[in-house]
Structure 1
């Protein structure tokens, strides 16, 4: 009985992931207004929008799943670079470079989140707060070790997140991601380092 329940749960999670991936693609291709359950069904090859409403009770709940999926995909993409970096300054540089590389490699993810944000959908706040808190913790650790000067960690984290978000559109539209990452690394290294 437990095996059947485990299989059903796995199948349900796989279907949710399929729907979230299709929603990312439709948001990126068609925009927020045209991201309907019908369009998502067509993209995902689903027979009925009831397959979506079975897993997501509202469009907002589906968009929350999309934001969670983008955050999870970004974290998985960035993790190796972050784990390889030693010391706060190297971790900061790795965070910036890996984040810009993710943006360049996953333009549909970026466009989907932009569509959600630009249409003021009430989702993503918890993920954004958690991302800012992780950056603030990196800054606090660097201050403890003497790598970073004294500054307000949450404000610096918000500024870094805003800088990356501000260049995302340009990277998606062809700005050299390496050049962009180099500029942001230099900017935030100068803004944070203890000897600067």
Structure 2
């Protein structure tokens, strides 16, 4: 956010900042990426284009704030629940379920972010390596503790992220979908995949 004062933004500035992010999400969701001008977003937020450009130097900067806000909110939502999980198995189940459930709780923000990332050459999401690394470490810790079997943590982490990232588009395109069933099945699929071979063989028999 661009401010003429030095130091941290005031409460009023933070509120206006959030108002503009919310308005951008609403306009993109309703009217589409191409129609979401700064002027239209400002009107949606009940302010002027000049005020919007006081807080954000360009539409791209505002769009980056929309994307960053989603990832920051998601990270907080995830962290609170992962901290409550004790074992590697519980943490993996929590990781998958909370990622997918977060999408169902914030459909407009997720959809607007997807439109921005698909259409903008200057706005970027969190780097894939940043998303994969903690998941890979979780899988490795489960292997080290003996909870998980032998598999490639990198490939498995990438597969889990593919399911999560793909669900964002699928959920939005299929609002009639039983999301809770999807979430439970996705978690169960990967929990079976990481089991030690001895447990998998026992289940099969």
Q: TM-score range by the shorter chain?
A: 0.7 to 0.9
* Corresponding position of 1:157: 157
What is aligned with 1:17? 18
Checking the alignment, whether the CA contact within 8 Å between 1:71 and 1:127 is kept in structure 2 is no
Higher-helix-fraction structure: 1
Counterpart of 2:143 in structure 1 is 143
Q: Alignment partner of 2:126: what SS?
A: helix
Structure 1: runs of 5 or more not aligned: none
Superposition pairs for residues 88-167 of structure 1, below 5 Å? 88-167=88-167
Structure 1 residues 40 and 181, CA gap change in structure 2 (3 angstroms):
same
Deviates more, 1:175-184 or 1:137-146: 137-146
How many residue pairs match? The answer is 192
1:158, 1:122 → 2: CA distance?
A: 25
| Higher relative contact order (CA closer than 8 Å, sequence separation 6+) | 1
Pair 1:124–1:143, CA change in 2 (3 A): farther
Q: Give the aligned partner of residue 36 of structure 2.
A: 35
Q: Kindly indicate whether the alpha-carbon contact (under 8 Å) linking 2:132 and 2:158 is maintained by their aligned counterparts in 1.
A: yes
Give the whole-Å Cα distance in 2 for the aligned partners of 1:120 and 1:155. Answer: 29
For structure 2, the residue ranges without an aligned partner over 5 or more in a row are 201-205
Could you list the runs of 4 or more consecutive aligned residues of structure 1 that deviate by over 4 angstroms after TM superposition?
4-8
Aligned-CA RMSD value:
2.3
Greater Rg, structure 1 or structure 2? Answer: 2
